[in-house]
Structure 1
C-alpha cells in the first residue's frame, strides 16, 4: 500500500469520526497527527501493517509519556477497527499495541424514556396525512438498529431481499467474516415491508442511495437529526449508541449474556460483558428474587428457639 493510499484511508476515517462522534476540530487534528506520524514511521504502510510492524512502532514510543502513548495506541485501534468495519481489511492487528490501562470506558446509552421519544417522533411522522417515503425508511432503520442491534455498516449494506416478512431472523456475515443469526421482530419486519414498497425493484440494496447504498455517514446524520427532534443532544446519539441501547435494555430485561453475545456477533464474551453496567439495586433484587436460595427459608438456630 502506497503512502497516498494511507493518506486516503486516514482522510476517510477522519470523515467518519467527525460524523459519528461529532469530534471537535482539535480532536480530529490530534488523530490526524498521530495517524500520519505512524504512517511516516511505517513508510506509508500503515493501512496494511501487520502485528510485527505495530510492535516496532510501539517500541518507538518508549520515551513518551504514558498518556501520550495511550492516546496514540487508542487512535490506531480505532483506525483499524474502522478499516475492519468497512471491509478494507480482513483482520485487525491492533492487538499488538500496548494498553496502558485495562479499564474500559462504559458505552454511551439511551434511557427507556429517550427511546420512547424517538419512536414517538417516528409515529407522529407516519401519522401525518401524507407520510413521505423517507419517513418509512427512517422507521425501518430505527427498528433494525434498536430492535436487532445491527452495526451501522451491516444495516446500510443489507441486500434488498435480506429480510422476509415470513422469516423472523436474518443471517449476517459481520466483523471478521463471522456469521450470526439475528432475530428480527414483528415490528421490524412490518416496518421493512412498508419501506420496501418504495424501493426500486431493480435495486440490489434495501436502503439504496445513488448508485450504491446509504452511507454510514448519512446514517449518522439521519440519526442525529431524529435525536434532535426527540430532544436528545447530538453527542448522546448515534447508530452505535442505539446498538448499545439494544444490548443494555435486553440485559436489563433478563437476557442471557451468551445469547446476547451471539446476537451482537462478539467473538469474545469479555466484549459483551461491558453491557453489564446495570443498576446495582436491580442486581440485588434479581439475586433476592431469582436465586434458588431465595425459596429456602433460613434455618432457625435451636438455641434461639429455646431462649
Structure 2
C-alpha cells in the first residue's frame, strides 16, 4: 500500500504536476518477506515412496531422483545416461546458468535407475525419454502429474506435493539430521550461500515445533 501511494504521488509530481514536492519521498517501503520453502515430513516422503514402489518403476525412480538427490524438475527431466558414472556412483548435474557439479548417488536410487534402464532398453541418451517421442526428454508436466498421482494414492495431501517440494524436503531433512550447510549448498548447486540459508530457517522452525511438541517440560509450568 505504501509503495502504491508513493507511485501515485510521484505521478502527481512528475506527470500531472499537481504538486511540486512528494510528501511521500522519505517514506520507505519495506521489502516483502520471502516465504519459506515448503517441506513435507520424512513420514510423508516415506509414504509417497512406498506408494510409488507399489506401482510403476518410473514413479519410483522419479521420486528417488527428486528427493534422493534434491533435483529440480528441470534437472530431472533432461538428464542423460552419459551424466552418470556407475563405478564411483556419481552423477553430473547441469543446473541453472550453465552451472555443473557432481553429486553422489546412493545405492537405493542407483538400483532403481539400473532397473529402469534395463527394462526400457536404455543404454545412452535421455534417462527419461518421452513416451511419445524418444528423441526428447519427458516433459516437466509429466513429472508434475506423477508426483500428484502418487500423492493421491498415498493419502498425502496432493496440494502439499510437487516436484520442487521434494527438493525443499531434501535440504530441510539433511539439515535437520545435522548435515553441514556448506555441503547442502554443494548438493543443491547453489552458487550463493544466502540461497541455502533459507533452509536453515525452515529447519530451525521444524526443530522448535518438535521441541515444543515432544519435550516433557514444554507443556509444564
Bin for the TM-score computed over the shorter chain: 0.7 to 0.9
Equivalent residue number for residue 256 of structure 1: 180
Compared CA separation, residues 253 and 171, structure 1 to 2 (3 A): same
> What stretches of structure 2 of length at least 5 have no aligned partner?
1-5, 10-28, 209-221
1:154 to 63, 71, 75: 75
Instruction: Give the deviation of 1:165 after TM superposition.
Output: 3.1
The aligned counterpart of 2:169 is: 245
Indicate if the aligned counterparts of 2:92 and 2:103 stay in contact, CA closer than 8 A.
Answer: yes
RMSD, matched Cα: 2.5
- The answer for the alignment partner of 1:105 in structure 2 is 35
SS at match of 1:171: strand
1:176 shift after superposition: 1.0
Cα contact 2:68–2:170 (8 A) shared by 1: yes
Relative to structure 2, which stretch is displaced further, 155-164 or 246-255? 155-164
CA shift, 1:173, in A, is 2.0
Alignment-derived partner of residue 223 in structure 1: 147
Deviation at residue 257 of structure 1 after TM alignment = 0.7
Shift >3 Å, 4+ stretches: 200-203, 279-283
Distance 1:280 1:100 in 2: 23
* Alpha-carbon distance in structure 2 between the residues aligned to 1:171 and 1:115: 25
Q: Per the alignment, do residues 122 and 202 of structure 1 end up closer, same or farther by CA in structure 2, a change over 3 Å counting?
A: closer
Q: CA deviation at 1:185?
A: 0.8
- The structural deviation recorded for 1:222 is 0.6
Pair 161,138 (structure 1): closer, same or farther in 2 beyond 3 Å: farther
The structure with higher relative contact order (CA 8 Å, sep 6+) is 2
Task: Give the length in aligned residue pairs.
Answer: 182
1:111, distance to aligned residue in structure 2 (A): 0.5
Per the alignment, in what secondary structure is the counterpart of residue 181 of structure 1? Answer: strand
TM-score between both structures, scaled by the size of structure 1: 0.55
State the Cα distance separating 1:100 from its structure 2 match. 5.1
Per-residue CA deviations over 1:125-172 (Å, capped at 9, x if unaligned) read 3xxxxxxxxx11111111111010011011110113433432321122
Partner residue in 1 for 2:190: 266
CA shift for structure 1 position 121 = 0.8
TM-score (norm. length: structure 2): 0.75
Deviation of the 1:282 alpha carbon: 4.1
Following superposition, the deviation at residue 101 of structure 1 comes to 1.8
Q: Tell me what 1:136 maps to.
A: 57
